[in-house]
Amino acid sequence: MKTLQFREAIAEAMSEEMRRDDTIYLMGEEVAEYNGAYKASKGMLDEFGPERVIDTPISELGFAGIGVGSAMNGNRPIIEFMTFNFSLVGIDQIINNAAKIRQMSGGQFNCPIVFRGPTASAGQLGATHSQAFESWYANTPGLKVVVPSNPADAKGLLKAAIRDDDPVIFMESEQMYGDKGEVPEGEYTTPLGVADIKREGTDVTIVSFGKIIKEAYKAADELEKEGISCEIIDLRTVRPMDHDTILKSVKKTNRMVILEEAWPFGNVATEIIYHVQDKAFDYLDAPIVKLNTADTPAPYSPVLLAEWLPNHEDVIKAVKKVLYKL
């Protein structure tokens, strides 16, 4: 194993795949000369040159469309959005072209493309730069949605996403790029659609993904001191979702808390809850609790932002609620 920052794991995954396959290229704002807005493509321009690491104007609709067209013609583009908040400018290309072209062409065209960049909040960035888009894109048939929480998963999942023959939405976080973690040496990929049990437990299942899962780890450490054993599942891939791992855990613990940084209406947590009550209702000893942000645009004030986001104290209260210990 070796220790890498999250941004280094992203750069390593892209570079390894680009060495393996010359149809892969990276395109986006500041990915080349500036080494990436978050330094996630550092050194790639020097290695691969300007024909494969391409700086673009501030025109998400334009370069998203170029990526889709080139994917239909045999390339495997990686399109970087400086933030998925900016993907809204190019969302027509993602939803109406990338996600649908295989079906609408009767299978004559596929679209092996990765759209990657940060999602959700990252401090005081204001309401328009702090939105979580996992459930937006996961709602669309034809798209796969990946949200890693650590460097090892990020590298393995990104390599798998680049090799996938369908469009993949790969979501990161500005607040994770500096995170360090152990990453396996040598070649490996992590399959899409497979969740990972990050912590074994017996009393309650906590499901989360992305950077907010850190709050679940903090809560589990505190609850362990009180003799409460938490099992933590990292979804890693939101779509396709690994329902089997979730159901198996719930059937063991009989209780569930879902932690997700997203608005509360119609999100990933609600989809999980539907499947659990449909397939494992008789195993539940308490109603499922889901933790989300407040149902408002993200505030700029740091005091209000802290209240807006779910945190480890909220997780502790939720776990005690499903255990009837409040």
Active-site positions read 60, 129
Distance CA 208, CA 268 (A): 10
Parallel, antiparallel, or unpaired: how do β-strands 237-239 and 144-146 relate?
A: antiparallel
What is the 8-class DSSP label of residue 98? I
| Number of CB atoms found within 10 A of residue 233's CB | 27
Report which residue type is found at 179: D
Whether residue 57 is preceded by a cis peptide bond, meaning omega within 30 degrees of 0, is: no
Distance CA 315, CA 215 (A): 8
Residues 6+ apart with CB under 8 A from 123: 174, 175, 302, 305
What is the 8-class DSSP label of residue 23? T
Question: What b/e readout covers 123-149, taking b as 16+ CB neighbours within 10 angstroms?
Answer: eebeeebbbbbbbbbbebebbbbbbbb
Which helix (DSSP H) or strand (DSSP E) does residue 313 occupy?
helix 312-322
Distance CA 18, CA 7 (A): 17
